[in-house]
Amino acid sequence: MKNFILVVLGIIAVLLVVGGVVGHTFLNDVADAEDTSVNDVIDKVSNVASSESSDESSDDTSADDDGDSDVVSEEVKFNAQNGEGYYREVTYKDGGFRQYDTESGDLIGSSYDSDQDQLPSME
């Protein structure tokens, strides 16, 4: 009877060790997959923002006669108003701003009167 109890305790100990190793491996794989997807999203947003800034430099110059030299900052922000997605906000020396959708590159917001006819309809 004593040997039977020792065998059962040995089996339980082996199961605990194997379960711990499997659990640890699984959690590391899940953490790596999450890090990869987060990094992929960050890379994609960065690539879109950098490619759009070079594409739109001529657009900024034509809309404002002062061009990209007046850009104070560019940030990618979460679109809380829409509840999803991201937009790139460009702020200029004169205090104005333009907001571009990071996926399509379309102008979605602006403080400039000259841009108002290019914005999407709110209806």
User: If residue 76 lies in a helix (H) or strand (E), which one and from where to where?
Assistant: strand 71-78
Sign, Cα dihedral of 112, 116, 120, 123: positive
The pTM of this model reads 0.44
pLDDT (tens digit, 9 = 90+) per residue, 34-86?
A: 555 556 666 666 665 555 554 444 444 444 444 557 888 899 988 888 788 88
More confident residue, 15 or 46: 15
Contacts of 85 (CB under 8 A, 6+ apart): 78, 79, 101, 102, 103
Q: Report how far apart the first and last C-alpha atoms of the chain are (Å, whole number).
A: 81
Output the pLDDT for position 38: 57
pLDDT score at 92: 92
* CA–CA separation, 109 and 89 (whole Å): 9
